[in-house]
A and B are shown apart, each in its own frame.
Chain A
Amino acid sequence: MAPHGAAVMAPAQGGLRFAGVGRVFAPEVPGAAAVVALDGVSFEVAAGSRTAIVGPSGAGKSSLLHIAAGLDTGYTGTVVRPGPGTVVGYAFQDHRLLPWLTVTGNLTFALRAAGWPRPAATDRALAVLASVGLSPVAAAYPATLSGGMRQRAALARAFAARPALLLLDEPFAAVDEEQADELCGLLSTEADAAGATVLVVTHRIREACQLADRTVVVRAGRVVAEVETGRHQPGSAGVDQVAARLRRAVAAATPRRSR
C-alpha cells in the first residue's frame, strides 16, 4: 500500500486520477471505532472534463473533494492532481466567505490571490457578480445575505479567477431548483471558457446530468457505479432520460433491506 498522502503530481494536463484511495479517520472518542471514509476508490477525471459524484450522506464524497484539492493528505493510495501553481476554485458547502469583506471584496480577494492585478480583479469581480445576479448586494457584508445569496457568492468566487480545477461541494444546496438550473448553465459556460476540469459533489441527480460528462456513484466509501451522463441542457428531455438511467444505476447499487 502506498504511504499516506502519496501523490504523483501530474505535469500540466490538469486532470485528476484516484487509484485505490483510502481514508480512515481516527475516532473522535477514545475507544470508538475508526471511521472508514474511503475504501479503495479508483476513477479518473480527464483534463477539461466534468465528473459528478453522487451518493448518500457519509458516503465519502466530500472527503474525495478535499483530497482532490490537496487539503487532506492523510489518505492511502495514489492521487494524481494538477501541480502547484494551478489556479483552483472551490465552492465549499459552508460557503467560507470572509465576513469582514463585502461580497465584491471576497471575490477580489480570490482573484488577487490567483495573481490578478487589482483593477482587473475588481472589474472581473463586478462582472461575475452581475452574472449571478448579486450586483445589488455587491457592497453588502455576507452576514446580511440570505443562505442562497451566500452560496451564489461562494460559487461566483469559485469560478471568478477562471480556475483550471473547479471543485464544487453541493454548490446548489441552498437555492431552489429553478435557480439551480440557471446557475448550472452559467457554471457550464464559465467552466468551458476556462477549460476547467470540474469535480462536483451533489445530492441532486438532475444537477449531475446537467453539469457532468460522467457521474460516479459512491456508497460507503466505495465507487459502486460509473455512468456516462453527458451534458444536457436544463429542462431538456435528455436530462430526464439520463436521470432515470442514473437512478436505476443507484438503485441497483443500493443493497435491499430485508423485512
Chain B
Amino acid sequence: MSSPEQVPFPVTSPPGALMARPPAARPPAAPRPAAAGTRRGVPGGLTVTALSLLTLLGAWQLAGTVSGSAFPPPAATARALAAASGDGYLWTDLAHTLARLVLAFILGFAASAVVGILVGRSGLAYRFFGMWLTIGASTPALLVVVACYLAIGISDWAAVLAVAVIVIPGTAAAICDGVRATDPGLSEMARLYGASPGSVLRQVVLPQAAPWIFTAARSCWSLTWRIMVFVEVIGRPDGVGYRIQYWFQLADMPRAIASAVPLIAVVVLVDVAVLRTIERRIARWRPTELR
C-alpha cells in the first residue's frame, strides 16, 4: 500500500455526479455561538438573571426583618461591608483564602481527573477502587482535616491538602461516571480506523465526558471553597473562615456576613464567567436544547 504522502488526492467522482444536486435536507448549519441562557419564547438571559437576583435580595430582606439581629438584612450588611473594607482585614483575608482555594482546587481537581478517568476506563479498576471512592466520600470532612493538621502540622499546606483530599472522592466519582457513560461504539470506530489508545482517550472519550467533567469541576469548585472556609475556622490565623468565626464570637453578624460577601462574589464570578463559559464553548456542537 502506498504511504499517505504518496497519494495524490484525486477527486474521483464521476463528472456531474452528486455535486450537481443540492443537499436534500436542512440547510447547512454553521456552528452557532452558544446563546447565553436565551430560549425561544422565554425572556432573555440577562432579564431572568436580574429578576432572580432581585428576588433573592427580597427574600434576604424578608429573612433579615423576621429574624432580627441573627440574620442582618442587605442594607445592614452593606454598611458592615463598607466599614470592613476600611480596616484592611477584608482584602488580606480574601487574598489568603483565594490563594489556598485556588491551590486546593487545582490539586483536588487534577487528582480527581486522573483517578476518575483511570477508574472509568478500566472495569477492573472500577471494581477495585469504586468502593474506595464511596468510602472516601462518606468520611467526615472534619476527620480528614484533623488528620492532615496532625500529620503535616498546622500550616497552609495542611489546609490545602485537607481540602483537596476531601473533594477528590466525589469529584472523581462524577468524572468516572461520565467516562463510563461514553458510547463504546465511537471508541470502537476510532480503534478500527487506527487511532492510538491515547488518541481515543483525547479525541473520543474526553469530548463525550466533557459535560460530566465540567459539572464535576463546578461542583468541585463550590465544595472546595465551602470546605476551605471551614478548615480556616479550625486551624488558620487568617482568611475568610477565621474572620467569620472572629466576628461570630463577638456576636457581630453584619461583620461576619460582610467578611464572606467578597469571597462569594469571586466564587460566583469564576463559576459564571470562567467555568460556564468554557463549558458552553466545549458544548457548542450539541443541539441548542441540550446545552
Contacts and interface: CB of A to CB of B under 8 A. Distances in A.
Interface of A: 69-71, 86-90, 92, 94, 96, 98-102, 109-111, 113-117, 120-121, 123-124, 127-128, 130-137, 139-141, 143-146, 148-149, 152, 161-162, 164, 179, 182-183, 185-186, 189-190, 193
B14 interface: yes
Contact of B28 (A109, A137, A186): A137
A248 B17 CA distance: 32
A129 to B, nearest CB: 10
Contacts of A101: 285
Interface stretch (B79-87, B187-195, B238-246): B187-195
B25 interface: yes
Interface in B20-64: 21-26, 28-31
B13 A87 contact: no
A37 to B, nearest CB: 18
Contacts of A133: 17-19, 21, 23
Chain B interface size range:
35 or more
Contacts, number: 145
B14 A182 contact: yes
A193 B282 CA distance: 38
Contacts of B193: 88-90, 109-110, 113-114, 161
B285 A141 contact: yes
Nearest to B20: A133
Given A102-B31, A179-B18, A185-B17, A134 B23 contact: yes
Interface string B152-173: 0000000000000000000000
- Identify whether the interface residues of B are mostly helix, strand, loop, or mixed: loop
Given A113-B199, A123-B9, 13 more contacts: A69-B192, A98-B186, A116-B7, A117-B4, A130-B13, A131-B18, A133-B19, A133-B21, A133-B23, A144-B28, A162-B2, A189-B12, A193-B10
Contact of A90 (B1, B5, B23, B192): B192
Nearest to B18: A133
A140 B287 CA distance: 12
Nearest to B1: A164
Nearest to A89: B193
A96 B24 contact: no
Contact of A139 (B19, B30, B190): B30
Nearest to A139: B30
Contact of A131 (B17, B22, B189): B17
B13 A136 contact: no
Nearest to B30: A139
Contact of B1 (A71, A87, A121): A87
24 contacts: A92-B189, A96-B186, A98-B203, A99-B285, A100-B207, A109-B195, A113-B193, A115-B194, A124-B9, A127-B9, A127-B10, A130-B13, A133-B19, A137-B28, A139-B31, A140-B29, A143-B285, A144-B29, A145-B26, A146-B24, A149-B23, A149-B25, A179-B18, A182-B18
B104 interface: no
Interface string B172-202: 0000000000000110111011111001000
Contacts of B7: 116, 120, 124, 162
A132 B18 contact: yes
Nearest to A183: B18
B29 A141 contact: yes
Interface string B188-229: 111011111001000110011000000000000000000000
Nearest to A162: B7
Nearest to A157: B193
B113 to A, nearest CB: 19
A70, A88, A144, A190 — which one has the most chain B CB atoms within 10 A of its CB?
A: A144
